Structure 1
Amino acid sequence: MGKLLFILGAVLLAYVWWRSQQIKDKAYQAVLNRCYESDVELLDGSIALIKQGPTKDKLGNWHWFRHFQFEFTSTREHRYKGLITMAGFHVVDIELEPFHIN
């Protein structure tokens, strides 16, 4: 019985990790699209998970939110921060700090 619980736990952890990677990949693609639309460059080619957890949305429904931070540049001289919020596989919001325009 103990071995079965161990295997089920390992499978569950692998599934949670796999799903988290899929969500991060979707967030990364959304950030790339926003950077392209805003004519800025994503720096370091990555996003970083900074916060996650259950939170109520505007309608009072519970969702598991993930907040990823990234950096971008518009002039290649200054770094600016951005934040993307995901609820599952859905992009809730992408925020870019105010930046200089060439």
Structure 2
Amino acid sequence: MNLQLGDIFLVTAVIIIAALFWRSHGIRERALGYTRKYCEREEVEFLDDTVGMDKLALQRDGNGKLRITRIYRFEFTVTGGERYQGHTIVMGGVVQRVDLPPHRYTPPPERLH
């Protein structure tokens, strides 16, 4: 078997791309789970059970280190009739926060004892 330098480079590039894709998928799944729980806690309905990449950027964290920042978009509703877009911000693989825009609030019905 005679390996050329080009073959080694190609195999290495494919492995690196696969590893980056795998890590990115894991980060998206983490953002999805966090967003789902956040919506439950805030008593809004998380629609379509998905988050989609909205923006990818390099930003500095609190220590001044450059980190890849991913902003995922998702939709939610309170009334069932109006859809709102929220965002989940992930920096360096760690969920930083979920942002919900101003939306209608419908208090839960009072229970009769």
AA at the equivalent of 1:20: S
AA at the equivalent of 1:70: F
Number of the residue aligned with 1:73: 77
AA at the equivalent of 1:64: I
* Percent identity of equivalent pairs: 27
- The yes-or-no answer on 1:45 pairing with 2:49 is yes
Contact 1:23–1:88 (CA under 8 A) maintained in structure 2: no
1:41-94 Cα offsets, whole Å, 9 max, x none, are: 111111110111211124422111000010100110111110111012211121
Structure of larger gyration radius = 2
Q: Which has the higher contact order (CA 8 A, sep 6+)?
A: 1
Normalized against structure 1, the TM-score is what?
Answer: 0.94
Runs of 4 or more, structure 1, over 4 Å off, are none
How many residues are paired up? Answer: 102
Instruction: Identify the match of residue 90 of structure 2 among 86, 91, 94.
Output: 86
**RMSD, aligned α-carbons:** 1.0
Number of the residue aligned with 1:101: 105
Larger CA deviation: 15-24 vs 50-59:
50-59
Structure 1: state its 5+ residue gaps. Answer: none
Mapped partners of 1:78, 1:12: distance in 2? 42
Mapped partners of 2:44, 2:97: distance in 1? 17
Number of the residue aligned with 1:30: 34
Number of the residue aligned with 2:110: none
